[in-house]
Structure 1
Amino acid sequence: MLLSVLIPAYNEIKSIDAILAKIQAVALDKEIIIVDDGSTDGTRERLATYASVPNIRVIHHEKNQGKGAAIRTAIQHMRGDIAIVQDADLEYEPQDYPALVAPIADGSHKVIYGSRFIKAENRHSYFTFYLGGQLVTWITNLLYNQRLTDEPTCYKVFEANFLRSIPLECMRFEFCPEVTAKVAKRGIRIQELPINYYPRSIEEGKKISWLDGIEAIWVLLKYRFVD
Protein backbone atom coordinates (compact mmCIF):
# COMPACT_ATOMS: atom_id res chain seq x y z
CA MET A 1 0.00 0.00 0.00
CA LEU A 2 1.14 3.53 -0.78
CA LEU A 3 1.22 6.03 2.09
CA SER A 4 0.57 9.68 1.24
CA VAL A 5 2.35 11.99 3.69
CA LEU A 6 0.57 15.36 3.62
CA ILE A 7 2.78 18.24 4.79
CA PRO A 8 1.50 21.81 5.16
CA ALA A 9 4.59 24.03 5.40
CA TYR A 10 4.83 27.70 6.28
CA ASN A 11 8.18 29.30 7.11
CA GLU A 12 9.91 26.08 8.24
CA ILE A 13 13.37 26.64 6.77
CA LYS A 14 15.02 25.49 10.02
CA SER A 15 13.41 22.05 10.01
CA ILE A 16 12.26 21.16 6.49
CA ASP A 17 15.41 19.24 5.52
CA ALA A 18 15.50 17.31 8.79
CA ILE A 19 11.84 16.28 8.72
CA LEU A 20 12.06 15.14 5.10
CA ALA A 21 15.12 13.04 5.92
CA LYS A 22 13.24 11.46 8.83
CA ILE A 23 10.25 10.65 6.62
CA GLN A 24 12.41 9.16 3.88
CA ALA A 25 14.08 6.91 6.48
CA VAL A 26 10.74 5.23 7.30
CA ALA A 27 10.57 1.79 5.67
CA LEU A 28 7.22 2.23 3.93
CA ASP A 29 6.21 2.80 0.32
CA LYS A 30 5.31 6.49 0.37
CA GLU A 31 4.76 9.69 -1.51
CA ILE A 32 5.44 13.03 0.16
CA ILE A 33 3.18 15.92 -0.78
CA ILE A 34 4.36 19.29 0.53
CA VAL A 35 2.17 22.36 0.22
CA ASP A 36 4.26 25.47 0.74
CA ASP A 37 1.71 27.92 2.11
CA GLY A 38 3.26 31.19 0.96
CA SER A 39 6.53 30.92 2.90
CA THR A 40 8.78 33.99 2.97
CA ASP A 41 11.79 32.67 4.91
CA GLY A 42 13.47 30.60 2.19
CA THR A 43 11.38 27.45 2.63
CA ARG A 44 9.98 27.75 -0.88
CA GLU A 45 13.41 28.10 -2.42
CA ARG A 46 14.75 25.20 -0.37
CA LEU A 47 11.90 22.95 -1.49
CA ALA A 48 12.86 23.65 -5.10
CA THR A 49 16.03 21.59 -4.51
CA TYR A 50 13.85 18.48 -4.08
CA ALA A 51 12.38 18.73 -7.59
CA SER A 52 14.33 15.69 -8.80
CA VAL A 53 13.34 13.42 -5.88
CA PRO A 54 10.85 10.92 -7.39
CA ASN A 55 8.53 10.52 -4.41
CA ILE A 56 8.32 14.21 -3.42
CA ARG A 57 5.87 16.67 -4.92
CA VAL A 58 5.74 20.33 -3.96
CA ILE A 59 2.67 22.50 -4.50
CA HIS A 60 2.75 26.23 -3.86
CA HIS A 61 0.19 28.63 -2.45
CA GLU A 62 1.21 32.07 -3.66
CA LYS A 63 -0.25 33.63 -0.50
CA ASN A 64 -0.49 32.23 3.02
CA GLN A 65 -3.92 30.66 3.45
CA GLY A 66 -3.51 28.51 6.57
CA LYS A 67 -2.81 24.92 7.59
CA GLY A 68 -6.29 23.66 6.78
CA ALA A 69 -6.20 25.14 3.29
CA ALA A 70 -2.79 23.53 2.68
CA ILE A 71 -4.05 20.12 3.83
CA ARG A 72 -7.09 20.42 1.56
CA THR A 73 -4.78 21.16 -1.37
CA ALA A 74 -2.59 18.17 -0.49
CA ILE A 75 -5.63 15.88 -0.37
CA GLN A 76 -6.50 16.89 -3.94
CA HIS A 77 -3.07 15.71 -5.12
CA MET A 78 -2.58 12.51 -3.10
CA ARG A 79 -2.50 9.15 -4.88
CA GLY A 80 -1.97 6.83 -1.94
CA ASP A 81 -4.15 4.23 -0.24
CA ILE A 82 -3.53 5.70 3.23
CA ALA A 83 -2.94 9.33 4.24
CA ILE A 84 -1.22 10.86 7.26
CA VAL A 85 -0.90 14.53 8.18
CA GLN A 86 2.66 15.56 9.07
CA ASP A 87 3.71 19.01 10.27
CA ALA A 88 6.90 20.42 8.78
CA ASP A 89 8.61 20.80 12.15
CA LEU A 90 10.22 18.15 14.35
CA GLU A 91 7.61 17.78 17.12
CA TYR A 92 6.40 14.41 15.82
CA GLU A 93 8.38 11.27 15.00
CA PRO A 94 7.89 9.66 11.55
CA GLN A 95 9.17 6.33 12.87
CA ASP A 96 5.72 6.06 14.46
CA TYR A 97 4.15 5.69 10.97
CA PRO A 98 4.27 1.87 10.70
CA ALA A 99 2.30 1.30 13.89
CA LEU A 100 -0.24 4.00 13.01
CA VAL A 101 -0.74 2.75 9.45
CA ALA A 102 -1.06 -0.96 10.28
CA PRO A 103 -4.72 -0.95 11.48
CA ILE A 104 -5.77 0.80 8.28
CA ALA A 105 -3.63 -1.38 6.03
CA ASP A 106 -5.21 -4.54 7.46
CA GLY A 107 -8.70 -3.16 6.84
CA SER A 108 -9.80 -3.08 10.48
CA HIS A 109 -10.02 0.73 10.75
CA LYS A 110 -10.60 3.75 8.54
CA VAL A 111 -9.16 6.30 10.99
CA ILE A 112 -6.37 6.20 13.58
CA TYR A 113 -5.13 9.08 15.75
CA GLY A 114 -1.70 9.18 17.37
CA SER A 115 -2.01 10.26 21.00
CA ARG A 116 0.71 12.22 22.78
CA PHE A 117 -0.94 11.52 26.13
CA ILE A 118 -1.01 7.73 26.15
CA LYS A 119 2.78 7.76 26.36
CA ALA A 120 3.48 9.10 29.85
CA GLU A 121 7.10 10.06 29.22
CA ASN A 122 6.21 12.65 26.56
CA ARG A 123 6.81 16.28 27.56
CA HIS A 124 4.46 19.15 26.68
CA SER A 125 5.51 22.65 25.71
CA TYR A 126 3.31 24.92 27.83
CA PHE A 127 0.86 24.15 30.63
CA THR A 128 -1.73 26.39 29.00
CA PHE A 129 -1.42 24.44 25.74
CA TYR A 130 -1.79 21.20 27.69
CA LEU A 131 -4.96 22.44 29.41
CA GLY A 132 -6.36 23.78 26.15
CA GLY A 133 -5.80 20.47 24.40
CA GLN A 134 -7.43 18.57 27.24
CA LEU A 135 -10.44 20.90 27.18
CA VAL A 136 -10.89 20.51 23.42
CA THR A 137 -10.59 16.74 23.80
CA TRP A 138 -13.14 16.64 26.64
CA ILE A 139 -15.64 18.70 24.63
CA THR A 140 -15.08 16.41 21.62
CA ASN A 141 -15.83 13.34 23.70
CA LEU A 142 -18.91 14.96 25.22
CA LEU A 143 -20.39 16.14 21.93
CA TYR A 144 -19.44 13.23 19.69
CA ASN A 145 -19.47 10.15 21.94
CA GLN A 146 -15.74 9.54 21.59
CA ARG A 147 -13.11 8.32 24.05
CA LEU A 148 -10.15 10.33 22.82
CA THR A 149 -7.18 11.44 24.90
CA ASP A 150 -5.69 13.81 22.28
CA GLU A 151 -8.07 15.33 19.75
CA PRO A 152 -5.69 18.12 18.57
CA THR A 153 -2.90 15.68 17.65
CA CYS A 154 -1.19 16.25 14.32
CA TYR A 155 -0.93 12.53 13.55
CA LYS A 156 -4.31 11.76 12.07
CA VAL A 157 -4.25 8.77 9.70
CA PHE A 158 -7.01 7.91 7.23
CA GLU A 159 -7.97 5.39 4.62
CA ALA A 160 -7.39 7.70 1.68
CA ASN A 161 -10.72 7.31 -0.10
CA PHE A 162 -12.51 7.90 3.18
CA LEU A 163 -10.58 11.15 3.69
CA ARG A 164 -11.38 12.23 0.13
CA SER A 165 -15.08 11.69 0.85
CA ILE A 166 -15.12 14.21 3.73
CA PRO A 167 -16.18 17.71 2.57
CA LEU A 168 -13.73 19.97 4.40
CA GLU A 169 -14.07 23.75 4.64
CA CYS A 170 -11.20 24.53 7.03
CA MET A 171 -8.63 27.22 6.36
CA ARG A 172 -6.43 27.30 9.45
CA PHE A 173 -5.92 25.08 12.51
CA GLU A 174 -9.61 24.21 12.59
CA PHE A 175 -8.80 21.25 10.32
CA CYS A 176 -8.48 19.08 13.44
CA PRO A 177 -11.89 19.71 15.04
CA GLU A 178 -13.66 19.78 11.66
CA VAL A 179 -12.32 16.45 10.45
CA THR A 180 -12.87 14.88 13.86
CA ALA A 181 -16.48 16.08 13.97
CA LYS A 182 -17.23 14.85 10.46
CA VAL A 183 -15.62 11.46 11.07
CA ALA A 184 -17.59 11.04 14.30
CA LYS A 185 -20.87 12.02 12.65
CA ARG A 186 -20.41 9.07 10.31
CA GLY A 187 -20.64 6.78 13.31
CA ILE A 188 -16.93 6.01 13.62
CA ARG A 189 -15.35 5.56 17.06
CA ILE A 190 -11.84 6.93 16.53
CA GLN A 191 -9.06 4.67 17.82
CA GLU A 192 -5.79 6.02 19.24
CA LEU A 193 -2.26 4.64 19.44
CA PRO A 194 0.69 6.08 21.43
CA ILE A 195 3.22 8.29 19.67
CA ASN A 196 6.38 10.17 20.55
CA TYR A 197 6.28 13.94 20.97
CA TYR A 198 9.08 16.53 21.14
CA PRO A 199 7.44 19.95 21.65
CA ARG A 200 8.97 23.16 20.41
CA SER A 201 8.57 26.63 21.88
CA ILE A 202 7.04 29.73 20.37
CA GLU A 203 10.58 31.07 19.97
CA GLU A 204 11.43 27.96 17.94
CA GLY A 205 8.50 28.55 15.59
CA LYS A 206 5.37 27.15 17.24
CA LYS A 207 2.47 28.95 15.56
CA ILE A 208 -0.74 27.83 17.27
CA SER A 209 -2.21 30.08 19.99
CA TRP A 210 -4.99 30.07 22.60
CA LEU A 211 -7.26 31.77 20.04
CA ASP A 212 -7.06 28.61 17.94
CA GLY A 213 -8.34 26.66 20.94
CA ILE A 214 -11.38 28.94 21.14
CA GLU A 215 -11.95 28.46 17.42
CA ALA A 216 -11.67 24.68 17.82
CA ILE A 217 -14.43 24.69 20.44
CA TRP A 218 -16.64 26.82 18.20
CA VAL A 219 -16.07 24.45 15.26
CA LEU A 220 -16.94 21.41 17.38
CA LEU A 221 -20.18 23.08 18.50
CA LYS A 222 -21.04 24.24 14.99
CA TYR A 223 -20.71 20.84 13.35
CA ARG A 224 -22.56 19.12 16.19
CA PHE A 225 -25.60 21.38 16.20
CA VAL A 226 -25.64 23.36 12.95
CA ASP A 227 -24.04 21.52 10.04
Structure 2
Amino acid sequence: MLLSVLIPAYNEINNIDTLLEKVQAVPVTKEIIIVDDGSTDGTRERLNSYRSIPNIQVIFHEQNQGKGAAIRTAIQHMTGDIAIVQDADLEYEPQDYPALIQPIIEGKEKVVYGSRFLKPENRHSYYSFYIGGQVVTLLTNILFNQRLTDEPTCYKVFEANFLRSIPLECTRFEFCPEVTAKVAKRGIRIRELPISYYPRSIAEGKKISWLDGIEAIWVLLKYRIVK
Protein backbone atom coordinates (compact mmCIF):
# COMPACT_ATOMS: atom_id res chain seq x y z
CA MET A 1 0.00 0.00 0.00
CA LEU A 2 1.07 3.56 -0.71
CA LEU A 3 1.31 5.94 2.25
CA SER A 4 0.61 9.62 1.58
CA VAL A 5 2.54 11.80 4.04
CA LEU A 6 0.77 15.17 4.25
CA ILE A 7 3.11 17.94 5.45
CA PRO A 8 1.82 21.48 6.04
CA ALA A 9 4.85 23.78 6.35
CA TYR A 10 5.19 27.39 7.42
CA ASN A 11 8.55 29.01 8.17
CA GLU A 12 10.43 25.78 8.91
CA ILE A 13 13.76 26.51 7.23
CA ASN A 14 15.67 25.17 10.24
CA ASN A 15 13.84 21.83 10.25
CA ILE A 16 12.63 20.97 6.76
CA ASP A 17 15.78 19.19 5.52
CA THR A 18 16.09 17.02 8.62
CA LEU A 19 12.38 16.22 8.60
CA LEU A 20 12.36 15.11 4.97
CA GLU A 21 15.46 13.00 5.55
CA LYS A 22 13.72 11.29 8.48
CA VAL A 23 10.50 10.73 6.50
CA GLN A 24 12.39 9.30 3.52
CA ALA A 25 14.24 6.91 5.85
CA VAL A 26 11.02 5.20 6.97
CA PRO A 27 10.88 1.74 5.30
CA VAL A 28 7.41 2.06 3.74
CA THR A 29 6.31 2.86 0.20
CA LYS A 30 5.28 6.50 0.31
CA GLU A 31 4.61 9.75 -1.43
CA ILE A 32 5.39 13.00 0.36
CA ILE A 33 3.12 15.98 -0.25
CA ILE A 34 4.44 19.25 1.17
CA VAL A 35 2.27 22.34 1.15
CA ASP A 36 4.23 25.48 1.89
CA ASP A 37 1.74 27.86 3.45
CA GLY A 38 3.24 31.18 2.42
CA SER A 39 6.59 30.89 4.21
CA THR A 40 8.79 33.99 4.35
CA ASP A 41 11.98 32.59 5.93
CA GLY A 42 13.47 30.73 2.95
CA THR A 43 11.47 27.51 3.32
CA ARG A 44 9.81 28.04 -0.07
CA GLU A 45 13.12 28.49 -1.82
CA ARG A 46 14.57 25.45 -0.10
CA LEU A 47 11.59 23.29 -1.06
CA ASN A 48 12.16 24.14 -4.72
CA SER A 49 15.25 21.92 -4.57
CA TYR A 50 13.06 18.91 -3.71
CA ARG A 51 10.69 19.20 -6.66
CA SER A 52 12.80 16.91 -8.83
CA ILE A 53 12.59 13.99 -6.37
CA PRO A 54 10.08 11.46 -7.78
CA ASN A 55 8.11 10.73 -4.60
CA ILE A 56 7.86 14.36 -3.42
CA GLN A 57 5.21 16.87 -4.47
CA VAL A 58 5.70 20.49 -3.42
CA ILE A 59 2.72 22.84 -3.54
CA PHE A 60 2.85 26.54 -2.70
CA HIS A 61 0.19 28.71 -1.12
CA GLU A 62 0.91 32.26 -2.18
CA GLN A 63 -0.36 33.59 1.16
CA ASN A 64 -0.44 32.08 4.62
CA GLN A 65 -3.84 30.43 5.12
CA GLY A 66 -3.25 28.12 8.06
CA LYS A 67 -2.48 24.48 8.83
CA GLY A 68 -5.99 23.27 8.08
CA ALA A 69 -6.01 24.91 4.66
CA ALA A 70 -2.62 23.36 3.86
CA ILE A 71 -3.85 19.90 4.86
CA ARG A 72 -6.96 20.30 2.71
CA THR A 73 -4.76 21.20 -0.25
CA ALA A 74 -2.55 18.17 0.39
CA ILE A 75 -5.60 15.88 0.51
CA GLN A 76 -6.59 17.08 -2.96
CA HIS A 77 -3.22 15.97 -4.35
CA MET A 78 -2.69 12.66 -2.52
CA THR A 79 -2.91 9.38 -4.44
CA GLY A 80 -2.12 6.89 -1.67
CA ASP A 81 -4.16 4.23 0.11
CA ILE A 82 -3.36 5.56 3.59
CA ALA A 83 -2.75 9.15 4.71
CA ILE A 84 -0.88 10.51 7.72
CA VAL A 85 -0.51 14.12 8.82
CA GLN A 86 3.08 15.12 9.59
CA ASP A 87 3.97 18.52 11.04
CA ALA A 88 7.06 20.14 9.52
CA ASP A 89 8.79 20.49 12.89
CA LEU A 90 10.72 17.71 14.63
CA GLU A 91 8.38 17.03 17.54
CA TYR A 92 7.18 13.70 16.14
CA GLU A 93 9.11 10.61 15.04
CA PRO A 94 8.43 9.29 11.51
CA GLN A 95 9.78 5.87 12.49
CA ASP A 96 6.41 5.44 14.24
CA TYR A 97 4.66 5.23 10.83
CA PRO A 98 4.84 1.42 10.37
CA ALA A 99 3.08 0.67 13.65
CA LEU A 100 0.45 3.37 13.07
CA ILE A 101 -0.50 2.23 9.58
CA GLN A 102 -0.51 -1.51 10.30
CA PRO A 103 -4.12 -1.69 11.64
CA ILE A 104 -5.32 0.06 8.48
CA ILE A 105 -3.27 -2.22 6.23
CA GLU A 106 -4.85 -5.19 8.00
CA GLY A 107 -8.33 -3.76 7.41
CA LYS A 108 -9.06 -3.54 11.13
CA GLU A 109 -9.35 0.26 11.33
CA LYS A 110 -10.16 3.26 9.17
CA VAL A 111 -8.62 5.77 11.59
CA VAL A 112 -5.67 5.54 14.01
CA TYR A 113 -4.27 8.30 16.23
CA GLY A 114 -0.79 8.33 17.73
CA SER A 115 -0.96 9.14 21.44
CA ARG A 116 1.88 10.95 23.20
CA PHE A 117 0.40 9.91 26.55
CA LEU A 118 0.52 6.17 25.94
CA LYS A 119 4.33 6.31 26.03
CA PRO A 120 5.21 7.22 29.66
CA GLU A 121 8.79 8.27 28.93
CA ASN A 122 7.67 11.15 26.70
CA ARG A 123 8.25 14.69 27.94
CA HIS A 124 5.55 17.29 27.38
CA SER A 125 5.71 20.97 26.56
CA TYR A 126 4.34 23.92 28.51
CA TYR A 127 2.00 23.06 31.37
CA SER A 128 -0.70 25.28 29.85
CA PHE A 129 -0.53 23.28 26.61
CA TYR A 130 -0.68 20.02 28.56
CA ILE A 131 -3.79 21.11 30.47
CA GLY A 132 -5.40 22.54 27.35
CA GLY A 133 -4.87 19.28 25.49
CA GLN A 134 -6.34 17.28 28.34
CA VAL A 135 -9.43 19.51 28.46
CA VAL A 136 -9.95 19.19 24.70
CA THR A 137 -9.51 15.41 24.92
CA LEU A 138 -11.94 15.07 27.83
CA LEU A 139 -14.54 17.17 26.05
CA THR A 140 -14.11 15.08 22.90
CA ASN A 141 -14.71 11.89 24.87
CA ILE A 142 -17.83 13.31 26.54
CA LEU A 143 -19.37 14.79 23.41
CA PHE A 144 -18.51 12.02 20.94
CA ASN A 145 -18.34 8.84 23.03
CA GLN A 146 -14.63 8.28 22.49
CA ARG A 147 -11.91 6.95 24.79
CA LEU A 148 -9.02 9.07 23.59
CA THR A 149 -6.00 10.10 25.62
CA ASP A 150 -4.61 12.62 23.08
CA GLU A 151 -7.08 14.26 20.72
CA PRO A 152 -4.79 17.15 19.61
CA THR A 153 -2.01 14.80 18.45
CA CYS A 154 -0.45 15.56 15.08
CA TYR A 155 -0.28 11.90 14.07
CA LYS A 156 -3.71 11.21 12.69
CA VAL A 157 -3.80 8.32 10.20
CA PHE A 158 -6.67 7.54 7.83
CA GLU A 159 -7.73 5.16 5.17
CA ALA A 160 -7.26 7.62 2.31
CA ASN A 161 -10.66 7.23 0.66
CA PHE A 162 -12.31 7.70 4.03
CA LEU A 163 -10.38 10.93 4.61
CA ARG A 164 -11.35 12.16 1.14
CA SER A 165 -15.00 11.57 2.01
CA ILE A 166 -14.90 13.95 5.01
CA PRO A 167 -16.05 17.49 4.04
CA LEU A 168 -13.49 19.61 5.87
CA GLU A 169 -13.88 23.37 6.31
CA CYS A 170 -10.89 24.12 8.58
CA THR A 171 -8.25 26.71 7.83
CA ARG A 172 -6.08 26.80 10.97
CA PHE A 173 -5.40 24.43 13.87
CA GLU A 174 -9.09 23.56 14.09
CA PHE A 175 -8.34 20.72 11.66
CA CYS A 176 -7.85 18.41 14.66
CA PRO A 177 -11.20 18.88 16.44
CA GLU A 178 -13.12 19.12 13.17
CA VAL A 179 -11.81 15.90 11.68
CA THR A 180 -12.16 14.09 15.03
CA ALA A 181 -15.76 15.22 15.42
CA LYS A 182 -16.68 14.23 11.88
CA VAL A 183 -15.02 10.82 12.20
CA ALA A 184 -16.81 10.18 15.49
CA LYS A 185 -20.17 11.22 14.09
CA ARG A 186 -19.83 8.41 11.55
CA GLY A 187 -19.85 5.95 14.43
CA ILE A 188 -16.12 5.20 14.45
CA ARG A 189 -14.31 4.56 17.75
CA ILE A 190 -10.83 5.95 17.13
CA ARG A 191 -7.97 3.63 18.01
CA GLU A 192 -4.80 5.01 19.60
CA LEU A 193 -1.25 3.67 19.58
CA PRO A 194 1.80 5.02 21.48
CA ILE A 195 4.21 7.37 19.73
CA SER A 196 7.39 9.27 20.60
CA TYR A 197 7.30 13.01 21.23
CA TYR A 198 10.02 15.66 21.42
CA PRO A 199 8.36 18.99 22.28
CA ARG A 200 9.86 22.28 21.15
CA SER A 201 9.52 25.70 22.71
CA ILE A 202 7.90 28.86 21.36
CA ALA A 203 11.43 30.23 20.88
CA GLU A 204 12.17 27.22 18.69
CA GLY A 205 9.16 27.92 16.50
CA LYS A 206 6.13 26.34 18.20
CA LYS A 207 3.14 28.13 16.67
CA ILE A 208 0.03 26.94 18.50
CA SER A 209 -1.28 29.10 21.38
CA TRP A 210 -3.89 28.93 24.14
CA LEU A 211 -6.33 30.71 21.81
CA ASP A 212 -6.24 27.65 19.56
CA GLY A 213 -7.39 25.59 22.53
CA ILE A 214 -10.39 27.86 22.98
CA GLU A 215 -11.14 27.53 19.28
CA ALA A 216 -10.88 23.72 19.52
CA ILE A 217 -13.51 23.68 22.28
CA TRP A 218 -15.82 25.86 20.19
CA VAL A 219 -15.35 23.62 17.14
CA LEU A 220 -16.15 20.47 19.14
CA LEU A 221 -19.33 22.03 20.53
CA LYS A 222 -20.34 23.29 17.10
CA TYR A 223 -19.98 19.91 15.41
CA ARG A 224 -21.80 18.15 18.24
CA ILE A 225 -24.82 20.25 17.32
CA VAL A 226 -24.40 20.59 13.54
CA LYS A 227 -25.39 17.56 11.50
1:134-189: CA deviations, max 9, x gaps?
00000000000000000000000000000000000000000000000000000000
Letter aligned with residue 190 of structure 1: I
For residues 2 and 70 of structure 1, the distance between their equivalents in structure 2, rounded to whole angstroms, comes to 21
Residue in 1 aligned with 2:200? 200
Residue in 1 aligned with 2:91? 91
For residues 22 and 4 of structure 2, the distance between their equivalents in structure 1, rounded to whole angstroms, comes to 15
Residue in 2 aligned with 1:67? 67
1:115 is the counterpart of 2:115 = yes
Residue in 1 aligned with 2:101? 101
Letter aligned with residue 42 of structure 2: G
Residue in 2 aligned with 1:23? 23
Runs (4+) of structure 1 moved beyond 6 Å?
none
Shift of 1:98: 0.1
For residues 179 and 131 of structure 2, the distance between their equivalents in structure 1, rounded to whole angstroms, comes to 21
For residues 14 and 156 of structure 2, the distance between their equivalents in structure 1, rounded to whole angstroms, comes to 24
Residue in 2 aligned with 1:160? 160
1:220 is the counterpart of 2:216 = no
For residues 126 and 119 of structure 2, the distance between their equivalents in structure 1, rounded to whole angstroms, comes to 17
Q: Which runs of 5+ in 1 are unaligned?
A: none
Any idea what SS the aligned residue of 1:129 has? helix
Any idea what SS the aligned residue of 1:161 has? helix
Letter aligned with residue 77 of structure 1: H
Letter aligned with residue 35 of structure 2: V
Q: Which runs of 5+ in 2 are unaligned?
A: none
How high is the sequence identity, in percent, across the aligned residues? 82
For residues 51 and 207 of structure 2, the distance between their equivalents in structure 1, rounded to whole angstroms, comes to 27
Residue in 2 aligned with 1:126? 126
Residue in 2 aligned with 1:82? 82
Residue in 2 aligned with 1:142? 142
For residues 109 and 199 of structure 1, the distance between their equivalents in structure 2, rounded to whole angstroms, comes to 28
Any idea what SS the aligned residue of 1:35 has? strand
Shift of 1:226: 2.5
Q: TM-score, normalised by structure 2?
A: 1.00
Letter aligned with residue 91 of structure 2: E
1:55-74: CA deviations, max 9, x gaps?
00000000000000000000
Residue in 2 aligned with 1:4? 4
Residue in 2 aligned with 1:37? 37
Any idea what SS the aligned residue of 1:50 has? coil
Residue in 1 aligned with 2:188? 188
1:209 is the counterpart of 2:215 = no
Shift of 1:91: 0.1
